[in-house]
Each structure stands twice: as C-alpha cells, then as structure tokens.
C-alpha cells in the first residue's frame, strides 16, 4: 500500500525564500515540511556563490523578527553608507546619502551563502519544521480538499497547502499550470570580490558605462564586491581573462578610484532573465520568492522582495490558524496574491525600465540617461522617493 504522509504545509525548495517562510511560521504548531533537492551539507554549510546581497532596512527587520539576523556574524554584515550612480564616461553622479533617511545606513551587504546558513540554522532548530534533503518534487496536484505532492523517492505527501519556492525557473509552478512572462536580457552578470589600495568608505557605486555596467559594492574598507554586466560574448572573454588581466580591467573601468585592485575570489557568471509569474496563487497553492518574481539584480530587490512575499503569506496563514479557519482557503490565497502583486509590480516594471534605459547606448537614450540623473539630483522629493524605494525606509 502507498504511504501517504500528512502535513499542514509542504514547501518546495529550501532556498532563502522557502527557509524564511518556514522561520516566519516558527512555533505556530503548524506542521511544515520543506523539500529540497540539495544535500543537508549543502544547506548547513552553503558554498560561496559570489552573490553579495544588498539588504534593505525592511529586510533587516523581517530577519530580526524571525530570529535570523542575529545569526549572521557581525563581521559579515557590511553597511552601505552612501551610493553614487554615474552614466557613460561622465564624472557626474547622482548621489544618495544618509541625510535623506532617518537610519544611519542606506542598507547592508551580506553574502548569499551567509544568509542561507543563518536561515537554515534557525529552520533546522524548529520543532514544527522538518527539512527533507536530497529529494525533489516530481508532481504536484491539488483539489478542493487537499494538495498532493509526489517526491523523487516515490513518497506521496498530503497537505492543506503547498508552496513553490523553487527558483525563478520553478518546475512545480509549471506543473501547476501557471505561466510566467520571462525576459531574457541577453546579458550576463559576473560577480566576484576585489581587494583595493584605498578605502571604499562604505560607498556603493553603480556605473552605467556604454556597453557594460559595473557595480562596486563596499564590504570591508579595502575589499569590495564587483558586479559586471555585459553581453554574453563579452562575458566569455572576461571570464577567460587571467586574474591579473581581470584585475587591471576592473581597475581601469573604475578609473583607479580605489587604487590598485586585485581579484580576491573566484568569478561567478549569471545569465540574466527576469521572470513574472502570471499568478501567485492557485487552488491550495502559492508561489513565493523568485518563483513569484525573478528580478534583474541592478536594483538589488530580488531577495528583499522574496522576504516580503513570504512575510505577507505567513502573516495571513498565522491569522487564519489562530482563528481556526482553513490555511489553504482560496480567499486567503487571493489576498496574498493581491497584496504581493501590488507591492512587486512597480519594482519589477521600474527595474526593467531602468535596465532598458541604461543599457541602450543610442544617442537619444544617452541624453535621457544623463537627464534622469540630473533631474534626480535637482529635485530632492524625487530623490527621496527613489531612496525610499531602494532602501525601503519610511523617512
């Protein structure tokens, strides 16, 4: 006879979004199972993947509330004190400083593997959360009464609700018949770290050059995270440069502003594809994290939005559970869908518009790019809105 395991919620994917969701439902008495295709070792001691994640104040608060911020070692949290955006070969910069927000920092940078470790540490300590590793989900179906998930080990799970948190290319979202708009930017983002001679002073730089984009994000005083966005052809060329040539290339691109630079880590390439799921919820089913919205990294909103999605859904579930009502009710899931689409859409469309404008080097676009930066600087209310949007502060 086939064995059926019963759970309240099955979460597919123990990445940052899935783990956060489980942590948000800590000690609720809800029986949660996370299913992850990676091994337990890969979750408890995640490999470095080159991503240094810029986190907003709102994300810091969410991570604090789920008792995971304090699990990040203090020397792995790097404050962003100021930010500069420059365009083309001009030295003119749009400048974001702390004067515009009540907080002392614009935000923080923490490596993805460090975030994942902190989230796993907490989730694996919870009595109401079980994490099944080395197993992937091969089928999902739902009806009015329950959701059913089939695992690669042949087991079947039944739950009141199933959540996909299995990346922007979510296979289970597809299995549930939810389509997604995907935009392939035809570009690749290369991430790594460099050490440098002069202090970065906690200032983040986003340089929209012609043909490529360079972001220099402050870590410790003499180390920064580098994000280079280029066409796929150029990415191959940059990836094949030896460390010395690469270091001189980045140093030259940055006009030696931080003095001599040396590549200090491996380089990791990420092809850039933005994804917008056409529905965030279905019958006893919802998508969170990148499975709902996969962002271009230029505005650094991907995981910040992922945190928001899981928080919105977890809060509704907690309320329903307290009230003794169905945690997989369609009215609840619709409320989640409405709230998160409303929060994410402007950020998703705004980010794609920025990418479109700042990667188009035609003369008219070049003019518009310069005008946008000058307009932003000249009108403090506009800059305040952008700052608030980027840092998620209320000031």
User: What residues make contact with ligand FAD under the rule CB under 6 A?
Assistant: 12-18, 35-38, 51, 53-54, 112, 136-137, 165-167, 171-172, 189, 191, 270, 289-291, 297, 300-304, 306
CB nearer to ligand FAD: give 133 or 256: 133
Give the nearest distance from C-beta 224 to ligand FAD in angstroms. Answer: 13
Assess contact for 250 and 168: CB atoms under 8 A: no
CB nearer to ligand FAD: give 16 or 376: 16
Give the nearest distance from C-beta 140 to ligand FAD in angstroms. Answer: 9
CB nearer to ligand FAD: give 15 or 282: 15
CB nearer to ligand FAD: give 46 or 328: 46
What one-character DSSP code corresponds to residue 44?
Answer: H
CB nearer to ligand FAD: give 31 or 299: 299
Residue nearest to ligand FAD (CB): 15
CB nearer to ligand FAD: give 320 or 352: 352
Q: How far apart are CA 147 and CA 158, in angstroms?
A: 6
Give the nearest distance from C-beta 107 to ligand FAD in angstroms. Answer: 9
CB nearer to ligand FAD: give 52 or 320: 52
Contacts of 127 (CB under 8 A, 6+ apart): 27
Q: Where are the alpha helices (DSSP H) in the chain?
A: 16-24, 40-44, 57-65, 112-123, 171-175, 232-240, 243-253, 302-323, 330-358, 363-378, 380-391
Residue 355's CB is within 10 A of a number of other CB atoms, namely 22
Give the nearest distance from C-beta 104 to ligand FAD in angstroms. Answer: 20
Give the nearest distance from C-beta 335 to ligand FAD in angstroms. Answer: 21
CB nearer to ligand FAD: give 302 or 328: 302
Q: How far apart are CA 205 and CA 190, in angstroms?
A: 16
Residue 345's CB is within 10 A of a number of other CB atoms, namely 12
The two tokens of residue 61 are 């608060």
Burial class (CB in 10 A: 0-12, 13-18, 19+), 64: exposed
Q: How far apart are CA 241 and CA 230, in angstroms?
A: 14
Give the nearest distance from C-beta 6 to ligand FAD in angstroms. Answer: 19
Cα angle for residues 149, 128, 28 (degrees, 5° grid):
105
Q: What is the DSSP string of 170-219?
A: -HHHHHTT--EEEEEEEEEEEEEEEEESS--TTEEEEEE-SS-EEEEEE-
Give the nearest distance from C-beta 225 to ligand FAD in angstroms. Answer: 9
The two tokens of residue 151 are 């695992």
């Amino acid at each position: 006879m086939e064995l059926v395991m019963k759970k309240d919620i099955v979460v597919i994917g123990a990445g940052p979004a899935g783990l956060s969701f489980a942590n948000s439902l800590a000690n609720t008495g809800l029986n949660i199972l996370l299913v992850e295709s990676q091994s337990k070792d890969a979750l408890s001691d995640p490999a470095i993947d080159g991503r240094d994640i810029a986190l907003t104040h709102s994300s810091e608060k969410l991570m604090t509330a789920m008792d995971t911020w304090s699990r990040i070692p203090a020397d792995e949290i790097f404050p962003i004190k100021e930010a500069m955006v420059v365009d083309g070969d001009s030295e003119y910069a749009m400048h974001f400083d702390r004067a515009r927000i009540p907080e002392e920092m614009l935000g923080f940078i923490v490596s993805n593997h460090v975030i994942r470790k902190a989230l796993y540490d907490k989730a694996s300590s919870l009595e109401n959360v079980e994490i099944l590793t080395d197993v992937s989900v091969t089928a999902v179906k739902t009806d009015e009464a329950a959701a059913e998930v089939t695992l690669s080990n042949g087991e079947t799970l039944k739950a009141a609700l199933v959540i996909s948190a299995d990346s922007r290319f979510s296979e289970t979202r597809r299995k549930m018949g939810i389509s997604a708009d995907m935009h392939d930017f035809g570009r690749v983002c290369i991430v790594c770290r460099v050490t440098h001679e002069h202090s970065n002073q906690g200032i983040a730089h986003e340089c929209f050059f012609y043909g490529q984009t360079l972001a220099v994000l402050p870590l410790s005083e003499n180390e920064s995270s580098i994000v280079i966005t280029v066409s796929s052809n150029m990415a191959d060329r940059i990836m094949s440069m030896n460390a010395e040539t690469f270091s001189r290339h980045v140093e030259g691109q940055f006009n030696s502003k931080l003095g001599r630079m040396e590549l200090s880590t491996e380089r990791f390439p990420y092809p850039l594809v933005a994804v917008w799921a056409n529905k965030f919820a279905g019958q006893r089913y919802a998508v969170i994290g990148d499975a709902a919205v996969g962002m271009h990294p230029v505005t650094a909103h991907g995981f910040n939005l992922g945190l928001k999605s899981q928080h919105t859904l977890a809060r509704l579930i907690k309320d329903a559970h307290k009230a003794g009502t169905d945690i997989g009710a369609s009215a609840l899931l619709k409320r989640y869908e409405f709230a998160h689409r409303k929060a994410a859409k402007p950020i998703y469309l705004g980010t794609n518009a920025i990418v479109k404008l700042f990667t188009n080097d035609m003369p008219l676009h070049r003019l518009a790019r310069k005008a946008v930066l000058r307009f932003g600087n000249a009108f403090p209310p506009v800059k305040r809105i952008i700052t608030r949007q980027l840092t998620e502060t209320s000031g």
